[in-house]
Amino acid sequence: MLFRVFGVLEVHGPAEVLAFAADKPRRMLSALLLHANRWVPDDELIEAVWPAGPPPSAAGNLKSYVSQVRKLLAPVDTHANRLERQPGAYRLTVARAELDTMIFEDLLGQAGDALGEDPAGAVALVTEALALWRGEPFESLEVEAAQVELARLTELRWSARNTLADALVAAGRHSEAIGLLRAMTTEDPLREPTWLRLLDALDAGGRRAEALLAYQDARRVIVDELGIEPGAALRAAHQRLLAADAPAGPGSGQPAEPPTTSAPPAPAPAATAPPAPSATGRRRPRRSRIIVAVSLALTTVLAAGLVIATQWWPKTSGGSAITAAERYGWGRPVRAAEFSTGLDGWIAAGPRPGQGGRGQQVPEQISVRDDLVTITGDTNGNTGYLSRAEGSFRGRWEARVRLPPGCACYRPLLTLWPVANDDFPAGGEIVYLEVFDPERQRAQFFLASGKHRDRYNAQRAVDMTQWNHFAVEWTEHGLTGYVNGEKWFHTAEKDRLPPRPMRPTMKLDLAQENDLRPASMEIDWIREYPV
C-alpha cells in the first residue's frame, strides 16, 4: 500500500489507484493519516469531515465512513487490522514505507548522510524526495493540526532544496544549482542563507560578476523590505568576492610585480581624481568595477530585446527543473490537460496533409497512456497534430515535455497559432519549442510577425531526452519564454506581437520525406494561465 497525502489524497494498491466514492470518507482518511499510528478522537475526525459544523447524524455517519474505508482497502491490503477502534477513537497503522510524507523525510535523511562522500547520490535522493511533492499536503483538511503539519513540511521542503543545491555544487553541476537557487530567491527573497548559497554557487561556477550583482539584489530587497543591512555572513561573502578580484600586490598573498628601472613612472594628469571610497570605506578594486559595469551593461542589452540565434545558454536537463508558473507565481491555470483520462479537451487533427503537404496528420499517431500523451511519426510519413479549439488574446502556457532520440525528418513543436487558420502570416506565430537535431539536444524558439519578413530566433542547449518545462508568456508589454523556470528569450517590440487570439498546438512536423525513421514526442501536461 502507498498513501499519498502530498496534493489530493491517493491510495495506491499493488496494481491500481483506489477510487473513493465521496469526499467525506477521503477527508476522514486524510485526518487519520495526519495522525498516523496514533489514536484520533471521534470529535477530531468529525471536525475534519465537517469543517463548517457537523449534522446531528455525524457520529453515525462517521461509523459508515470507517466501514467504507475498510471495504475500500480490504481487497488489496495485507495488513490484518489496519484501522482499529477503541472507545471514542480510531487509529490507522501505517509503515514508514507506506506514507509519502514519511518516505520524504527518510529520503532527506539519507541524502544528508550521503552529501559528504557521494554528492551525486545525494542529488538522486533529494530529487526523488522532492518528486513526491505533488501539491500541499493534507489539502482537503481545514483543521489547525493540518496547517501546523503543512508549515513543518513546507519548511522541510525548503531545506531539501537547499540540500539539493549543495549537492549539485559538490557534484560540479553549477548551472543546475544556480537555476534552483535563483528560483528560491525569487520565491522568498528574505532568506539570507539561500542568497549566500547562490553567491557561492555562482563563484564556484566561474561567474563572479553575476555573484556580485546577486549580492546587490539581495541587499536591495533586504533594505527595502526590512530596513536593515544584510547579515554578517552575507556581507562577509561579498567581501570575499571583492577581495578575490583585487590585484596582486604586497600583503595580498600573491607575488607583486617587480619594479621597473627603465624609466620613472609618469605623473598622473592633474585633472584625474582618485577613486571614490565604497560604502564600506574601502576602495573597490578596479577589476571588480569593470566586471560589474560590463555585467550590468550585458543585463541591460539582454533586457532590451530578444536573445537571437547565436546566443547559447548553459545546458540543462529536467533533473532539478521547476516550472515558470511556480517560480513567478502564475496562480491556478484556467485550462489544464493532465492526460489522466484522455485528451482533456485537445483535438487530434486529420486525416489531412501534413505541414507543407508532406505526409499525413492522422489521429492514430496520438495515444494516451500512463498519464502521458504521445505523438509519433512513422516510416510512412504519418504523424500527429494536437490543438485546442479555444484561443486567447495574450496569456501564459507551459508544458512538460520529453523527446526520445529520433529522426531529423520529424521536428517536435509547441506553438501558438492563429485561431483563424487563414490568418497566417498576418496573425503571426509563436513557436516556443522546436527541435531539429535527431539527438534532441538543442531547443529553438521562433517568433513570426506579419509586419516583418524576418523571424526572431533563439536557441539553447537542453537535454530534451529528459523531462523539461517549456513556457511562453504573452502580455501587452512583450513576449518571454522560459526553460525550466529560467528566462531564455524576450522581446518588448510590440509591433512584432500577434495582433489577434492564438490557440496552442503540439505536433511532430514531417520536415523531409526521404530516409524516414520513427520519432516521438511525449507530453506529461500542458496548462494555460491568465495574465
Burial bucket for residue 527 (CB in 10 Å: 0-12, 13-18, 19+):
buried
Q: Are 339 and 523 in contact (CB under 8 A)?
A: yes
In whole angstroms, what is the distance from residue 447 CA to residue 494 CA? Answer: 12
User: Whose CA is closest to 372, among 341, 393, 408?
Assistant: 341
In whole angstroms, what is the distance from residue 379 CA to residue 402 CA? Answer: 21
Which residue ranges make up each domain of the chain?
Answer: 1-168, 173-246+289-304, 324-529
Q: Are 323 and 397 in contact (CB under 8 A)?
A: no
Provide CB contacts within 8 A for 153, sequence distance 6+.
101, 104, 137
Q: Residue 305: its pLDDT value, please?
A: 36
> What is 1-168's CATH number?
1.10.10.10
In whole angstroms, what is the distance from residue 360 CA to residue 15 CA? Answer: 37
Q: Residue 140: its pLDDT value, please?
A: 83
- Give domain 173-246+289-304's CATH architecture: Alpha Horseshoe (1.25)
Q: CA 447 from chain center: how many Å?
A: 23
- The HSE-up count of residue 115 (CA atoms within 13 Å, CB side) is 16
Which portions of the chain are predicted below pLDDT 50? 248-320
Q: Residue 397: its pLDDT value, please?
A: 97
pTM (two decimals): 0.49
Which segments of 405-490 does DSSP mark as H helices, in order? none
Helix (H), strand (E) at residue 106 = helix 100-114
Q: CA 482 from chain center: how many Å?
A: 10
Q: Residue 155: its pLDDT value, please?
A: 92
Q: Give 324-529's CATH code, choosing from 3.20.20.80, 3.20.20.100, 2.60.120.200, 3.40.50.300.
A: 2.60.120.200
Q: Are 390 and 335 in contact (CB under 8 A)?
A: yes
